[in-house]
Amino acid sequence: MTQPAVDLTIVGSIGIDTIETPAEKREEILGGSVSYACAAASFFTHTGMVGVVGTDFPQAFLDTWKDMNIDLEGLQTVEGKTFRWSGVYEENMDNRTTLSTELNVFETFSPELPEAYRDAPYLFLGNIHPALQLHVLEQVRNPKFILIDTMDLWINIDKEDLTKVIGKCTMLTLNESEAELFTGERTLNKAAKKLLELGPEYVLIKKGGNGSMLFNHEEVFLLHAYPLDHFKDPTGAGDTFAGGLMGALAASGKTDREAIRQAMVYGSIAASFGVEEFSLDRLAKLDRDEIEIRVAEFKEMCRI
C-alpha cells in the first residue's frame, strides 16, 4: 500500500487580521483557523492545507507556511481580496468585539481536496459552514479520525446541516457557550451527553484559559491549561490547540483514548506558545525541543 501524500488534512479559513489588545495594535497580520491549525500540526506530522486566499495575499505569509513545511497543494488563489477581520479585546483578554468582517473571496469558497489529500488518515474540519464540511466529507476516503469545529453562528442559522456533520465525525469540539446553545443544557455533563447522542465518539469542550474537557460515553477527562506569566494575543488559540492535537494524534498513528489524551496535552502546549505573540510569530520561531520541554514541565505540574 502506498503512503498518503499527507497524514493530516486541515480545512478552514484564511484571513488577514487587524487586532487590538489592551497593550498593542497590529494591522494586516496573518490569521484564519487553518493558518493556526496547520502551523501547530506541522511540528508533528505532514500537514496539508485547504483554504482560499485572494490575489492580494502577501508572499511573506506564504513563505511562513512553506518554512513550516506545510503542504499547500490544497490552497486556492482566487481573483479578489482575501478575507479580512478586525477586532478589539477587552482588558481581561477573554471578551472581544468584532469591528469589521469582510468575507471577500471566502464568501464563495468551496473546498476541493487535491487527489493526494483524499486518503489522509486524519482530517480536521475547521470552523466553516456545515454545508462545506459535508462537502469535504464527500471527498475523503476512509479517514481514521475526523475532528470538526463549529461556532454559534452555524448553530443559529443551520443547525440541521451541523447535526448531520456531527453525526459523521469522530470528535466534535466547541466551547462552553456553544455547547449550551446547541443543547439547551446549562451543565457541561448534560450538554456533552446530548451531543454524544448525535453520533460522535468524543465531545471536546474548550474552556479557554481554564483548559478543556473530553467526554465519551464512558468517562470524562479534564485537562488544565498551561499557566503563563503573560501573553499578547489569544486569537486562534482554539485552532492552535485543535491543530496541535490532531498533528500529535496523526504522528502517533493511533486513535485510542490514551493517544487522544496525550495529543490534547501537545495541543494545549502548542496553544500556550501561540498566544505569547501575535499571529503566527511565536509558532514560526518555535521548535519541537521547546514543545517537549514545556510538555514535561506541564506533566510534572499535573502529577499527583
The contacts of residue 217 (CB under 8 Å, 6+ apart) are 196
Of 16-20, 120-124, 206-210, the range with the lowest mean pLDDT is 206-210
In a domain? residue 1 = no
Helix or strand (DSSP H, E) at 35: helix 33-41
pLDDT band, residue 3 (cuts 50/70/90): low
Judge whether residue 136 has pLDDT over 60.
yes
Segment 240-251, tens digit of pLDDT: 999 999 999 999
pLDDT band, residue 1 (cuts 50/70/90): very low
Mean predicted confidence (pLDDT) in 222-236: 92
C-alpha cell at 269: 502546549
**pLDDT at site 2:** 53
Q: Which domain holds residue 202?
A: 8-302
**pLDDT at site 230:** 86
Higher pLDDT, 93 or 60: 60
Judge whether residue 77 has pLDDT over 70.
yes
In a domain? residue 171 = yes
Closest among 70, 141, 69, 79 to 104, alpha carbons compared? 79
| CATH code where residue 200 lies | 3.40.1190.20
Domain count, the chain: 1
In a domain? residue 3 = no
pLDDT band, residue 41 (cuts 50/70/90): very high
The residue whose grid cell reads 475523503 is 140
Q: For helices 33-41 and 237-252, give the axis angle rounded to 10 degrees.
A: 40
In a domain? residue 284 = yes
Among 1-10, 85-94, 169-178, the range with the most confident prediction by mean pLDDT is 169-178
pLDDT band, residue 4 (cuts 50/70/90): low
In a domain? residue 270 = yes
In a domain? residue 226 = yes
Instruction: Kindly report the number of other CB atoms within 10 A of residue 62's CB atom.
Output: 16
